[in-house]
Structures are given as C-alpha cells and as structure tokens.
C-alpha cells in the first residue's frame, strides 16, 4: 500500500508540477539572459544596475507604503550605501524616523535625516543621500560606531533614537526577505 501511494504521489508530481517547474525554469533562464545582457552593458560603463537589486525594490516598497516622496530615490540609497560600506537599510530608516520618509522637512532642503537639526540644505535627494552616507562612514563608522546603537548615541540626543531607527530597518529587511523568498517560489 505504501509503495502504491508513493507511486501515485510521484506520478502526480511528474504530471502536474513538471510543467510549472519547466515554466519557472524557462522564466528564470530568460531573466538570467536579460540580466546578463544588462550586466554586460553596465559593466562596460563600470556601473551596477541598482534598479534590478532586490534591496532597491524593498526600500522602494516601504517608501510607497508611507507615501514617501523618496520612492524614486531608492536606488541611490543602495548605491551609495554600497559605495561607502554602510548598511543599506540605515539611511532610509533614519529618513523614516526623522521626517516620516521625507514627508516632513524644511521645504527645498532635501534633508530627510534631521542633519544639522534639519536646517542643512542639499542640492538634490541624491546629493543628500551621497553626502550623508559618506559622513556616516567617515564620522561614525571609521571612528568605531559600527551599528545603529553606537551611531545613535552620537547622531541624536534622544536615547530611543536607535531603537526607533532599528524598527524601520527591520521593516525594510522584512520586505527584502519577502521579495527574496517570492522571487524563487514557483507561481501556483
């Protein structure tokens, strides 16, 4: 009886799941080809296409959830975090705490981070993202502050700053994990 059930399960799997898995593998293969051709172009000009990065998609999704004006800037958060060796979730999370993801700030400042009490103006969103990531690396991490908890005691007066930024980091990470898991599951 056990052999019979095992054979039935194997037949069912072969008949009903093989087309789905075959479709999935073709889709993954097609994505690899598209991605490879894009990488070739980007490698020639020396840049990675951060728009395809799951981290960028995760940041973008969290920004959308909060109706953030930073949605189109998500790529810069990941790009400059990588460039300066900063956790890619940190600066978007600081923006979440300091300005509700860029919704409440000094008009025209592009300063969603409370930098300089919120009174420092940047030329653009990208400019601010680049400058703050570089400053996080040089002024905090290179001086021994390696995580949100050690950065928080220097960055902000509030003793709960790191805890609140950490919550946004966790939210962004959950979105990243969700996107990562769903990208490998077959559509059923």
Domain ranges of the chain: 2-46, 50-182
Position 182 scores a pLDDT of 75
Residue of 81, 82, 88, 90 lying closest to 113 (CA atoms): 90
Q: What is the DSSP string of 65-87?
A: HTT-TTGGGHHHHHHHHHHHT--
Inter-axis angle of helices 90-99 and 148-155, nearest 10: 40
Q: What is the pTM of this model?
A: 0.73
What percentage of the chain exceeds 70 in pLDDT?
72
pLDDT digits (tens, 9 = 90+) for 16-51: 443 333 333 333 333 333 344 344 334 434 568 889
Domain 50-182 has CATH 3.40.50.2300: no
């Amino acid at each position: 009886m056990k052999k019979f059930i095992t054979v039935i399960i194997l037949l069912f799997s072969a008949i009903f799941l093989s087309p789905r898995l075959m479709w999935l593998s073709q889709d993954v293969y097609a994505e690899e080809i598209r991605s490879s051709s894009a990488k070739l172009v980007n490698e020639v000009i020396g840049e990675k296409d951060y728009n395809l990065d799951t981290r960028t998609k995760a940041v973008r999704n969290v920004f959308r959830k909060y109706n953030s004006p930073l949605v189109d800037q998500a790529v810069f958060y990941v790009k400059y975090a990588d460039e300066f060796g900063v956790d890619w979730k940190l600066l978007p999370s600081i923006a979440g705490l300091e300005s509700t993801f860029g919704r409440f700030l000094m008009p025209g400042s592009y300063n969603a981070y409370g930098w300089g009490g919120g009174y420092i103006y940047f030329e653009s969103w990208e400019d601010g993202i680049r400058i703050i990531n570089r400053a996080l690396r040089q002024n905090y991490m290179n001086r021994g502050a390696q995580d949100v908890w050690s950065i928080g005691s220097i960055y902000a007066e509030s003793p709960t700053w790191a805890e609140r930024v950490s919550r946004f980091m966790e939210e962004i990470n959950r979105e990243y994990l969700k996107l990562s898991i769903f990208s490998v599951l077959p559509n059923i």
